[in-house]
Amino acid sequence: MKIVVIQGPNLNMLGVREQNIYGPMKLEQIHAQMKDVATQNGVEIEFFQSNLEGEMVDKIQECYGEANGIIINAAAYTHTSIAIRDAITAVNLPTIEVHISNIHRREEFRKDNMIAPVCTSSVVGFGPFGYHLAMMGMLQIMSEMKAAQEMQAEQASGEAK
């Protein structure tokens, strides 16, 4: 099983930018914690960060057939990108959206969310811990998918007899 974590614009500046909103943790520290959880659960994890919308779309598309789930913080593109929304829809993978801050309590323009309707779930406002919550959610989704596949295989083998 493989999870791809896609980080959007300015998240490479975590720990530097607006610490009063995003906290002091750097992106590398968040990724290290996620990698530990993945390793403990026997799941492969890949990290990607870009400030460019098209590169994020490309990465989402690369997940098709290569990954079992996506955790994404589209950052500012959350509020503007139909392209990212369409890419998430196209690959049809479980996708959990993460936002470090509570976007619903911030500026009015941040309340518009283009990608939430096509994501499996959203984790909002828990700071960097939101990534841990997203990992737990994705591991649960993957476990349920595996159980469903096993049940289908058992049913198919029972019908074949």
pLDDT digits (tens, 9 = 90+) for 52-65: 999 999 999 999 99
Average confidence (pLDDT) over 86-96: 98
**Residues 6+ away with beta carbon under 8 Å from 126:** 100, 133
Work out how many domains the chain is built from and give that number: 1
pTM of the model: 0.91
Lowest average pLDDT, out of 27-41, 75-89, 147-161, goes to: 147-161
Q: Is residue 126 over pLDDT 80?
A: yes
Q: Is residue 160 over pLDDT 80?
A: no
Burial class (CB in 10 A: 0-12, 13-18, 19+), 104: exposed
For the chain, state the CA radius of gyration: 17
Residue 9 tokens read as 């614009």
Q: Share the mean pLDDT of the chain.
A: 93
pLDDT, tens digit, 9 for 90 and up, residues 95-115: 999 999 888 777 777 768 999
**Residues 6+ away with beta carbon under 8 Å from 77:** 8, 9, 53, 56, 84, 114
**Residues 6+ away with beta carbon under 8 Å from 40:** none
Given 22, 77, 79, 132, the catalytic residue = 22
The pLDDT assigned to 132 comes to 96
Given 99, 104, 131, 132, the catalytic residue = 99
Q: What is the CATH number of the domain that holds 115?
A: 3.40.50.9100
Catalytic, 132? Answer: no
Residue 141, domain extent: 2-160
Catalytic, 64? Answer: no
Residue carrying the six token digits 């479980």? 94
